[in-house]
Amino acid sequence: MEIRRICNYINGEWKESESKETRDVINPATGEVLAKVPMSTREEVNKIVEVAQNAFWEWRTTPPLERARLMLKLRDMLEKEQDDVAKVLTMEHGKTFREAWLEIERAIENIEVASGVCSLMMGHLLEDVARGIDEYAVRQPLGVFASLNPFNFPVMIPFWSLPYAVATGNTVVVKSSSQVPITLERVFGIIDKVGFPKGVINLVNGSAEVGDALMENPYVKGISFVGSTPVGKYVYKKSSEYGKRVQVQAGAKNFGILMPDAVLERVVPNIVASAFDCSGQRCLALACILVVGEDMYRRTTEAIVEAAKKIKVGYGLDKDTDMGPVISAQAKKNIEQWIEKGVKEGAKLLLDGRGIKVEGYPGGFWVGPTILGECRRDMEVVNEEIFGPVLCILKIKDLNEGLDIINSNQYGNAATIYTTSGAAAREFKYRARCGNLGINIGVAAPMAFFHFGGSKNSFFGDLHAQGRDAFEFFTDAVVVVERWF
């Protein structure tokens, strides 16, 4: 049986790439090859950008209310096909159907917020700044934007950029992750039916060469990137050198402080879900728990291990599955190497997820929940991003030590505190140097109407994804000083 090739979406049409080079798209639960994704050429990318540039002026002059209505139509159509898209996402990515469905829900929320463009893009005016002179500020679209996306949220993360760029009057070229292009192809099948003018929204598949071509193209005015810190630094530097606006949401190592007054029966389920949902493959995953006090450490460790043992690992479309596979054989290998490294560094292996078997799926990339106890702050496994279902537990003496560990880490994506003390929570939120803070919430994921925070090596740029930041990133603030004779 011939395996189909994924297509690019250019100027309102599906087109096969001219490139002969492809990569396999693999179901991580079965090992089955689902499709082949082309590695589009630099020449193709430049043609796509030219299409988007040609579509810009007509779209830029389309009234914001008309643009908003098309966004709302997209919202309705995506919601109607949410179950089907979630199934495709689960097959391609490996996450559970519930996780896939909720991911699409977050994409829908971003469309809804972007549809508020008429209010959120509005300028302001002051009469008589001088005699007979008025002055006002307006926000204007810039042109073509590029959206470079990772594998872990194939629907949600492109919608951190796409709806805001388009609603504000820009055109966009979206690059899929070559590991999970099928889901975005399915979503673009919905976009194709909405009625956007040709060339406004485009999709290209390919390797890092596609990203380089987009960063170097003079018509591209801005780059929105989500991915690892090493690649993020490269994207930020290169895009800046080419005069682009750029926002880079990068890697993470997220810590949670567990105070002695926390209510364990409420806290433990949240910790376990925060660490192991999506197989730990998310930038907001809770990677390390810092437990205050000997007694609390002992009780917490026992409770977390017992809860994690109950997690059922399996195919995401099976109804009783709690956690799916990791994305690839290479990811599995990397995670298992991190586990071994943690043990060699002196951590105690309280729960080992290596070597698990899932009945009926011998070809899957399985790593079960893994817990490393008796960790120390100087361990690499504590300080570096693993991006898998591995939780480190450390014993600390007090809140100050926990905050010092958080603030001295190179990343600043997220941190949380579990406590019943308002004073402790207040001190935490004032002193923790991270962009997304949780109080009794393990995954402090901002809603679409708030920006997605991040600092230190977790973010590069000035304006973040989502919320008001997104409207500002995709527009230019223009001041007009006006006098009539």
Task: Give the catalytic positions in this structure.
Answer: 283
Per DSSP bridges, beta strands 390-396 and 286-292 are parallel
Provide the residue type at 464 as one letter: H
Q: Which two tokens stand for residue 58?
A: 């007509």
Nearest to 32 by CA among 254, 305, 325, 259: 325
Residue/partner pairs of 314-319 with CB below 8 Å, 24 or more apart:
314/29, 314/358, 314/361, 315/29, 315/30, 315/358, 315/360, 315/361, 315/364, 316/29, 316/90, 316/91, 316/93, 316/94, 316/95, 316/96, 316/97, 316/99, 316/100, 317/87, 317/90, 317/91, 317/97
Provide the β-strand partners of residue 481.
135
DSSP single-letter state for residue 323: B
Cβ(412)–Cβ(455) below 8 Å? yes
Query: What is the distance, to the nearest Å, from the Cα of residue 415 to the centroid of all Cα atoms in its chain?
Result: 17
Calculate the alpha carbon distances from 304 to 197, 206, 301, 309 in Å. 52, 41, 5, 9
Q: How many Å apart are CA 431 and CA 443, to the nearest integer?
A: 19
Q: How many residues does the chain have?
A: 485
| DSSP per-residue letters across 251-299 | ---EEEEE-TTS-HHHHHHHHHHHHHGGGG-STT-EEEEEEESHHHHHH
Q: How many Å apart are CA 391 and CA 351, to the nearest integer?
A: 10
Q: Which two tokens stand for residue 108?
A: 């829908």
Cβ(192)–Cβ(162) below 8 Å? no
Provide the β-strand partners of residue 50.
none
Q: Which two tokens stand for residue 357?
A: 């078997």
